[in-house]
């Protein structure tokens, strides 16, 4: 998932955009998880991937028909993943070989990605990019 959604973000924003998104979403998911569930151990990698899910869809949103179709297809997948994470979080997590999955971190990583895109869209476009 990291490769697929990382490539989608890279197509739109370049390698720096992928790294920035990954780090912001990993930190966002981990920090919220730490403050809400202090005894949970969270490295943030899966939160970062969930952030890339959201960012890849939001970056595809434009009035270009090709991009709208891509956003609709990706959006359906991302929507299903987010709903599944909400259901799993409400149910108390899913047991794995290594313990519990931190669904709150996944959701907060996705939220951090959405906030990042919204903030970046507020920046003026550089001259020559219009």
Catalytic residue flag (residue 56): no
Q: Which two tokens stand for residue 55?
A: 């960012």
CA dihedral 75, 118, 88, 10 (to 10 degrees): 60
Residues 76 and 78: their CA atoms lie apart, in Å, by 6
Residues 6+ apart with CB under 8 A from 128: none
Q: Alpha helices of the chain — where are they, by DSSP H? A: 2-36, 45-60, 65-91, 103-121
Q: Which of 42, 46, 56, 103 is catalytic?
A: 46
Q: Which two tokens stand for residue 102?
A: 């931190």
By C-alpha distance, which of 63, 57, 73 is closest to 11? Answer: 57
Catalytic residue flag (residue 89): no
Residues designated as active site: 46, 106
């Amino acid at each position: 998932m990291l490769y697929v959604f990382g490539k989608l973000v890279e197509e739109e924003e370049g390698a720096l955009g992928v790294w920035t998104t990954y780090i912001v979403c990993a930190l966002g998911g981990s920090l919220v998880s730490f403050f809400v569930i202090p005894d949970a151990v969270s490295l943030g990698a899966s939160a970062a991937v969930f952030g890339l899910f959201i960012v890849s869809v939001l970056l595809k949103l434009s009035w270009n028909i090709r991009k709208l179709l891509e956003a609709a297809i990706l959006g359906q997948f991302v929507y299903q993943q987010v709903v599944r994470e909400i259901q799993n979080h409400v149910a108390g997590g899913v047991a794995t070989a290594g313990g519990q999955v931190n669904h709150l971190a996944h959701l907060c990583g996705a939220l951090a990605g959405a906030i990042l895109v919204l903030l970046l869209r507020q920046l003026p476009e550089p001259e020559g990019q219009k």
